[in-house]
Amino acid sequence: MFYHCRELKYVKYDKVYPPSEEKADDFLISAYKWLGKHCGFCPQIWLSRSRSSITGYRTRSYTVKNRKRRFLPKHDDIVMFGFENVKGFPIDYEHWEWLINVLCNESKNQDKALINYLDEILLDVIEDAEAGEELNGVLLNWKRSTDLNDFLKRFVFVENDQVVVPSLNLKSAKQIFCRNEKQKKKLRKMGFIEDRIRIKNIKRWDW
């Protein structure tokens, strides 16, 4: 199953598209543009593969210094769609998390910045790894790669846990998760099949 989340106000019983570059998140657009050079479109619609936990549907929690649990604001108006088959451009979640920090802060020489970033971190931890500590999976894959293109092809752009697409037909969703009856009623009025709509108000997800 492939999962995609969006606010109810951006849901329609039809094909949907990502926001234009002008309306996309300013912090992320640099990363999206870099990805667009590889997948062929920008911005992108993101879907998780078999991992609904990374869609943003769940409330996220974290622990502060005094060990009290705090929760990030919950998006009460968010809806999650589940699709059986989606043909998209694959991106490994763990590797993308490492790369996006560099891509968001560099807009010109992004490939060079990625190489320098991975090389510097690898050098920082290689002594500990050789001393017996396990090398992080991303860095281990970087060490195994011959160059950036090889790294991207073998480890980053692989079908694992998320894909991107240029558009998405919400009518084809096999499962729809919302938070309450009010949302469910709005989805029914749009045309979504009632048997596919489920109220699933998950309150907690620990990092």
pTM: 0.81
78-83/69-71 β-pairing: unpaired
Element holding 48 (H helix, E strand): strand 45-49
Q: Which residue has the tokens 């060490």?
A: 143
Predicted pLDDT of residue 69: 44
Other Cβ atoms within 10 Å of 136 Cβ, number: 15
Tens of pLDDT, residues 101-151: 899 887 789 999 999 999 988 877 665 555 545 667 888 899 899 999 999
- CA–CA gap between residue 25 and residue 162 (Å, rounded): 19
Tens of pLDDT, residues 15-62: 999 876 545 556 788 999 999 999 999 999 999 987 667 776 665 443
Predicted pLDDT of residue 135: 65
